Amino acid sequence: MKAIGLFRYLPIDDPESLLDLEVEDPRPGGRDLLVEVKAIAVNPVDYKSRAPRPQVETVPKILGWDVAGVVRAAGSEATLFKPGDSVYYAGSRTRPGGNSELHLVDERIVGRKPRNLRFAEAAALPLTTLTAWEALFDRLGISKTGADGGRSVLIIGGAGGVGSIAIQLARRLARLRVIATASRPASSAWARELGADEVIDHTRDLAPQLAALGRADVDYILCCNSTDHHFGAFAPIIAPQGKICAIVGTQKPVDLAPLMQKSVTFAWELMFTRPTFQTADMVAQHQILDETAALLEAGTLKTTAATRLSPINAANLRHAHALLEGGHVVGKIVLEGF
């Protein structure tokens, strides 16, 4: 089968950073699904996994953690899907990624593709939806049925992949007052289009901008941008007994002491935790994606696909990585068709 992978970890402008390859077709076992990949999306985890380093692979490393496609075969223990089903999912970092014509994935982290979306539109959603959903409803403990309606959330990096779906979930399901951050007119307009009540600039001090909106603090903070850069701004703007969740790892230790006086909760979110550790509630990701599919079909949520490339090959994938590394992408970049 065709695949895009790497042997050496190189800068993205090197033509060997991602290569067109022919590799052996995988075979499903256990609860695996064998999926014919129709579309993929690119996330920061892709270029971070490909970042230059001396290591050399003896077998190709295949990246990619957003897939939409059709089930072609299923393992003997699979019960949730059957051949012919259209699906979407993010996969696991402990297995080869989805940048290939055929891909194996555990059915417990797979959802049915929304019927009203094309494969490319669906591929934009799994990783970021799982991240935003788990961050808001699992880590921050916000009610997804509106019981916390009227409370405020600050979403730092509102125009990115996770921010784009988090704005919709926070506004349309949780009924929160959503303040998003963006740094350019295009990204600010995108955040407002998705439902943000207010937009402020994360390249400037946050506290005075919130004060200008008549807000001394916010009940929740979801940080989808550099945690290292923004962490020092959290203590002054989080409400007493407020909650903070970050999805971007740090390069240095964070000092939690300033959060103690307000009894603030701080949590990390990584959507790969459930599949990596095979947690007892791993099937929750299947359930989240199915629930999201229903919300998309009802028009409550919409796809965050913004840039589309075709076909799926090394040249287009290198271009997608370069765009994402540039740091100014709005929404998601998707690739369709081998």
Q: What does the pLDDT read at residue 269? A: 98
In the sheet where 177-181 sits, what is the strand order?
198-200, 177-181, 152-156, 218-223, 238-246, 265-268
pLDDT one-digit tens code per residue, 96-129: 999 999 999 999 999 999 999 999 999 999 999 9
Q: What does the pLDDT read at residue 328? A: 84
pLDDT one-digit tens code per residue, 272-293: 999 999 999 999 999 999 999 9
Under 8 Å between Cβ of 270 and 247: yes
Distance CA 70, CA 101 (A): 11
Under 8 Å between Cβ of 215 and 208: no
Q: What is the mean pLDDT of residues 26-51?
A: 97
pLDDT one-digit tens code per residue, 114-168: 999 999 999 999 999 999 999 999 999 999 999 999 999 999 999 999 999 999 9
Burial of 5 (0-12, 13-18, 19+ CB in 10 A): buried
Say which DSSP state 113 is in.
Answer: P
Q: What does the pLDDT read at residue 167? A: 98
Pick the CATH number of 129-268 from 3.40.50.720, 2.30.30.140, 3.40.50.300, 3.30.750.210: 3.40.50.720
Q: What does the pLDDT read at residue 233? A: 96
Q: What does the pLDDT read at residue 13? A: 96
**pLDDT confidence bin for 305, thresholds 50/70/90:** very high
CB contact set of 29 (below 8 Å; sequence gap of 6+): 75, 76
Q: Where are the domains of the chain?
A: 2-125+273-336, 129-268
Residue 327 has pLDDT above 90, yes or no: no
Distance CA 33, CA 257 (A): 46
pLDDT one-digit tens code per residue, 173-207: 999 999 999 999 999 999 999 999 999 999 999 99
Buried b (16+ CB within 10 A) or exposed e, 178-205: bbbbbbeeebbebbbebbbbbbbebeee
Topology of domain 2-125+273-336, CATH:
Quinone Oxidoreductase; Chain A, domain 1 (3.90.180)
Give the whole-number percent of the chain exceeding pLDDT 90.
99
State the pTM of this model.
0.97
**pLDDT confidence bin for 302, thresholds 50/70/90:** very high
Q: What does the pLDDT read at residue 323? A: 96
Report the mean per-residue pLDDT for the chain: 97
